[in-house]
Amino acid sequence: MKVSFVVPTLNEEKNITKILDDLIEESKKKKLDCEIIVVDGHSIDRTVDLAKKYNVKIIYDDFGKGSALRKGMKSAKGNIIITIDADCSHRTSEIGLLIEGIESGYDICAGSRFIQGGGTEDMQFYRRFGNKFFVFLVNLFFKTNYSDLCYGYRSFRKDCIKKLGLHSNGFGIETEIAIKAAKKKLKVLEIPSFEKIRRDGEGKLRTFKDGFDILSIILREIS
């Protein structure tokens, strides 16, 4: 199987070479036939210039993380698509589990920080509370059993992307994926994932603004 990595970026010049080096190294270790797609939000630093030194595909997006992921996944040629953040918070050593989940027959394999073997060193108490609240709402209204929701380290079977019919432009994309996977009765597997603290630079998540967007998506999908 061919694997496509989709990496959304915005002013990640201090992290981009590290994440690309790690993806390439892990792909060689696992002998993957892969492509790397960097979807950049018109960075004003050297993110794109540094990425161009690698054998990666670079496309641009104007609207946010969700839009970038949708555009990257649509462009992907792989049978398996893996979304991974550019801030080096995701461990590339977990890629094998994400691939094995799809190869075992699941449509989506989602990293979870809140099952045995997972964890995080980069979540303030109010973000942890918000995530648990959103998980509770989604599980209640959509009869699911998720343990994590607002986490972007995931793998997808290529043919399920169109079935999801995603529309979110912002950080609510992960919540939309979880809800629509349930509505479409797709097979979802959670795997343990450990979230490291961002390697360098400032995070793009805005807790209250993006939290409101996530809540809006949940309420929209309920109605």
What distance in Å separates the CA atoms of residue 163 and residue 151, rounded to the nearest whole number? 20
For 30-124, where are the alpha helices, taking DSSP H only? 47-51, 65-75, 95-103
Angle of CA points 65, 69, 71, to nearest 5°: 115
Mean of the per-residue pLDDT values of the chain: 94
pTM for the model stands at 0.94
Task: Examine the pLDDT at 207 and tell me if it is beyond 80.
Answer: no
Which tokens is 41 given? 């939000």
Which tokens is 121 given? 């060193």
Q: How many domains does the chain have?
A: 1
Q: What is the pLDDT of residues 120-156, one digit of tens each?
A: 997 788 878 888 999 999 999 999 999 999 899 999 9
Judging by beta carbons within 10 Å of its beta carbon (0-12, 13-18, 19+), is residue 53 exposed, middle or buried?
exposed
2 and 34 Cβ atoms separated by less than 8 Å: yes
Tell me which of 133-142, 165-174, 191-200, 204-213 is least confident.
204-213
Query: In terms of residue numbers, what domain contains 138?
Result: 2-222
**Which residues on neighbouring strands pair with residue 34, listed in sequence order?**
3
Specify the pairing of strand 80-83 against strand 2-9.
parallel
Assign residue 119 the CATH number of its domain: 3.90.550.10
Q: What is the pLDDT of residues 58-115, one digit of tens each?
A: 999 999 999 999 999 999 999 999 999 999 999 999 999 999 999 999 999 999 999 9
Q: Which residue in the block uniquely carries the two structure tokens 């993110």? A: 47
Task: State residue 128's pLDDT score.
Answer: 86
